[in-house]
Structure 1
Amino acid sequence: MNIVNLEYPVPARVLESVPAEGQSMAIGDFDGVHLGHREVIGRAVSAARRRGLAASVMTFHPHPREVLGAKAYSTSITPLDRKLERFRELGLDTVYVVSFTPTLAALSPEAFVDEVLVPLRVKSVTVGFNFTFGHRGLGTSALLKQLGEGRFDAEIVQPFRIEDERVSSTLIREALALGDVERVQNLLGRPFDVSGDVVTGDGRGRTIGVPTANLSIDARSVKPANGVYAVNATIETGPSAGQTYAGVMNVGMKPTFHSALPVATWEVHLFDFDGDLYGHRLTVSFVSRIRDERKFDSVTALIEQIGRDMQEAKRRIGAQA
């Protein structure tokens, strides 16, 4: 899969690299790459294979709503690196990562089509039913279809529903805010996960017999509700790369030991693992939320609760498997 970082106006070097046969392109931010997004992208890939075109996606970074002042979009369900990993699974030839700037935001819908899509030899466009583009979002999916007449086909994909509920990034964010990672898994079509490097923590876990890996998570990642979770963790780098371990993770402020931390910490204890993970990268997939984070009256009480959490995590991971 070829990744092209694209700015407006479209550079000549990018236009020179466009396949001569043209492209079938899915367009959207695709935050989360959830089941609805996969439907849109899958339709674009199918059209490409059917018509002998290259299969591509156009996505935007940062999120357009963030640039336009929506604070809720300063974090992502899938930060860009994770999003690109998900795209690799979908049979795409090219991903265009468009730098979303105020200049691009000011383009009229007509200019976006004339100066971006047509020069990229787009022959087929696939978008979701609520897709908007151009200045102030005045371009709708219906207008895209109209502007494409005689130049490209436009397919508008209707909402993807699970039990009559429309799958959306907003719904996933709401479920994460509640810590409902099981519901999130249903909406994404896979477990919610985060990746980060193991960094030095306060070392307290080892002193109480429960060594933990402290992860440095991209600040742009949406954080699930504070609490204790059953997880599976895959080691991405180092001697144990590729191995996955069940475990238990605490996301939060560690109130038993700290009166106030500036930011939440992400700590994971891996079952049946004995080794050094410092400096290595982990991907942690969330299985189930076990309980709220809370302050304990003593370290002994905390240790006893951690023991119960570990047993419950093993039960839930085993039940899911």
Structure 2
Amino acid sequence: MNNEKDGVMYAIFSYILWGLTPLYWKLVQHISSGEILAQRVIWSYIFVLFLIIVTKKWRDYITFTKGLLKNLKLLSLLVIASLLISSNWGIFMWAVINGRIVEASLGQYINPLTSMIIGVLALKERLTVFQTLSFILADLGVLSLSLAYGVFPWISLCLALTFGFYGLLKKKINTDSTVSLALETMVITPIALSYLIYLIIENRLQFIESVPNSLLLIGTGVVTALPLLLFTKSAQKVTLSLLGILQYISPTIALITGIFLYHETLTNAHIIAFSFIWLGLAVYSSSSFVKNRKKTNF
């Protein structure tokens, strides 16, 4: 019981941190999005390497890294996973910096439903009637937003799809989450370094312009890795159905932040879209919770 209680606390804390990340990206909005992403990748890699050393997982990291060189299929999956999560980070930061937090939160809300349909298409998983209904409701929400604006909500869909496919690949890359994150950031680090060298050559690197800039960019590593590591600890102690319900803490905080702190407009079209998606999530979460309760009782 104490383990589950601890797990719930880890999960809540991780989702709160994720929900508050727009506050951090707003602090660095004067820096180019490209440099923020490159610095985030590099400092995440350094921070996770530090954690690997502290938690004595260095041998696992080296062993898995050597194994990658002998397994081109696994290496390819890791490279694609790295590109997907980096794209997700970049799109989310761009959305926050450009006053599109509401759209970003919409993408986070439809994450579990997107993952569900990816599971059907890629893993041949079968949907229940309630899961199908929840997916249809989410589709109606996205469609209503598209029709109202006459523009496809690409930010929301790209965030959901990149994270959904990233989750699919993570199922195939079976290793410790800390080691996995280190490898993912390691793979993309050469690209990030190349971009920073380009900025140095062009005399456009903002990291060295001031101490606050340097400290904020270094902090992106902690902002990236800490919530993920807390989430991993919670996943070991809490049922998936409960985690599925708790995960909506993050986009809810982001949504509230966007509307009340940064005064983004919540239009009638957004309200209609969110209503469909929230209803779909309610159906999805309820069916998953009931299903897991039956398994537990059995």
Band the TM-score falls in, shorter-chain normalisation: under 0.3
Q: Relative contact order, CA 8 A, sep 6+: which one is greater? A: 2
Q: Please identify which structure carries the higher helix content.
A: 2
Q: Please identify which structure carries the higher strand content.
A: 1
Q: Which has the larger radius of gyration?
A: 1
With structure 1 as the length reference, what TM-score do the two structures score?
0.25
With structure 2 as the length reference, what TM-score do the two structures score?
0.26
